[in-house]
Chain A
Amino acid sequence: MFLTTGWGWSDLIELKAITKTYRSRAGITEAIRGIDLHVRSGEIFGVIGHSGAGKSTLLRCVNLLERPTTGTVTVGGVELTKLSGRQLQRQRRRIGIIFQHFNLLSTATVRDNIAFPLRLAKRSRSEIRARVDEMIKLVGLEGHGDKYPSQLSGGQKQRVGIARALANKPEVLLCDEATSALDPQTTESILSLLLGINEQLGLTIMLITHEMNVIRSICDRVAVIDQGIIVESGKVIDVFLHPQQQITREFVEQAGDASDAFMTGLDAIRRGKLLRVRFKGDMTYEPVLFEAVKETGAAFSILQGTVSRMKRVPYGHLLVDVRGSGADMERIVERLRREGIEAEVLA
């Protein structure tokens, strides 16, 4: 099954019919079983999946750290899968990457680590010095330039990783579980750094993660990968509010958002009718629900729900226990829908 996640014109990364199989004594393992994927210029694209789902393999196919068994990889209009050796090395300089475990040179200072890709590209000394200074400032590591990685915290190491990845002015940044080894607070600061870079420099980012929070905080679009195929994809807000697949619902729950799984038990608690409302955008902070219910003279209580923000877009979904007549219920639903809020009577 091939599931397309975008369209042609402004695609920066284009993966077509990718498969990856490993042969070993234990038999044949199909890590990726046919994936089509498009990442558009300027967006943050997230791939989420459990470990072993194939997401890491997929990301490593983009810069051909893993060569796909079949399929083509095109980045910025250049078909990488056609290239070999030296040509591929040159193209890779247009693709930055950061890793879960940072992968910094332990024997090099922060400055030397950041200078690494610049030296590979044979930049002049003065150019390197200026660019390294600029990068150190960008990631907020002023004063740490002469330290070695072992003297830095995890978050600082990832900042060095980001600076190194961006030093050569790549067109795209790949993030391989970049925050998975960090504590929640540090994760937060790295994510906002990535978001800032995306917005300031217009840098396209493709990331993989197993944490829905990462997707919710910074991604524009998301693909859910399971057992080597993409089972669901779309705008993050749509996937969050209307998860189609069981696995997606699990990830949404993991992000602390209410979903059907929590409904079991609510049936016993409710005294009136169970109403589900979903809303996004400016509407989120308006007292629409209150007004809709007030009009009818019914009462309501919120059983469960989330009001949060996705990247910059506020959204929410609530499970509401409405105590009123059937006619009241109809009027409430109609009023909410008129305001552009999704409302649905569940029970």
Chain B
Amino acid sequence: MFGHFSNVRPAELQEATYATLRMLGLSLAFTVVLGLLVGVLLFLTSRGQLLSQPAVYAVLSFVVNVLRSVPFVILMITIMPFTKWLTGTSIGVEGSIPPLVVAAAPFFARLVETSLREVDRGVIEAAQAMGASSWSIVRRVLLREAGGGLFAGVTLTAVTLVSFTAMSGVIGGGGLGDLALRYGYQRFQTDVMLVTVVLLVLLVQLLQTLGDLLVRWVSRK
């Protein structure tokens, strides 16, 4: 039915898998750093929290919402000039990182904000009463107590990024999604599509399992 997978070329598949992993790894790293920063700021500036700056919060929140409401495909094309300025190219693995980060960081920032809200207020207060600075509270209380939620958020973001990397194949981002699109869809080579999809499923499964393990490890109590 699939011609005994005669169209599947291992070398190409290997290269595409490698490209996907690089895109995922790099974009996830930048997303986590940026999203954590924005998420912590969102939490701290919200009303009644440590830095309580409603105006700053409103602006930050608005930007995050705007970025989150633009569909990824459109976002990717819109920010091409920015991407080119930043990385020197708008295609390939390098060219796909900025749009991936711009799309995923606001998403992750919201997840960070939500998990920080879950931290018991009393514990924050206790730390304040013991003379902790805001920075100490973030580092020693908030990030620590919210650890489980944060890792769950990273896992969720990683899985979302996998599907984003597939889409970035549209503008020559490379990777498994690109392969599936070019061979599987445009050349009707169903066997190539099938193999890439199976690989993507495996990748997501792996990420989720790893994430769950991490969550369990950091939220042991």
List residues of A whose CB falls within 8 A of some B CB.
Answer: 63, 65, 86, 88-93, 95, 97, 99, 101, 103-108, 116-117, 119-121, 148-150, 164, 168
Contacts and interface: CB of A to CB of B under 8 A. Distances in A.
Interface in B184-221: 218-221
Given A106-B145, A107-B144, A116 B131 contact: no
Contact of A90 (B131, B141, B220): B131
Contact of A92 (B120, B130, B141, B218): B130
A65 B145 contact: no
A95 B220 contact: no
13 contacts: A65-B128, A89-B133, A97-B130, A99-B126, A103-B125, A105-B144, A106-B123, A107-B145, A117-B130, A120-B130, A148-B220, A149-B221, A150-B221
A116 B130 contact: yes
Given A103-B126, A168-B130, 11 more contacts: A63-B129, A89-B131, A92-B130, A92-B131, A104-B126, A105-B141, A107-B145, A107-B147, A108-B144, A116-B130, A116-B140
B122 interface: yes
A105 B144 CA distance: 9
Which are the 3 A-B pairs with shortest beta-carbon distances?
A92-B131, A103-B122, A103-B126
A86 B130 CA distance: 12
Contacts of B132: 89, 120
Nearest to B124: A103
Interface of B is mostly: helix
A105 B140 CA distance: 9
A99 B122 contact: yes
Contacts of B133: 86, 89
A65 B221 contact: no
B219 A107 contact: yes
Contacts of B120: 103, 106
Interface string B104-129: 00000000000000001011011111
B74 to A, nearest CB: 40
B87 interface: no
Interface of A is mostly: mixed
Nearest to B129: A97
Nearest to B141: A105
A193 B49 CA distance: 34
B136 interface: yes
B130 A65 contact: no
Contacts of B131: 88-93, 117, 120-121
A121 B219 CA distance: 26
B218 A107 contact: yes
Nearest to A149: B221
A20 to B, nearest CB: 16
B127 A104 contact: no
A102 to B, nearest CB: 8
Interface centre among A65, A91, A106 (most CB of B within 10 A): A106
B129 A95 contact: yes
Interface in B132-167: 132-133, 136, 140-141, 144-145, 147
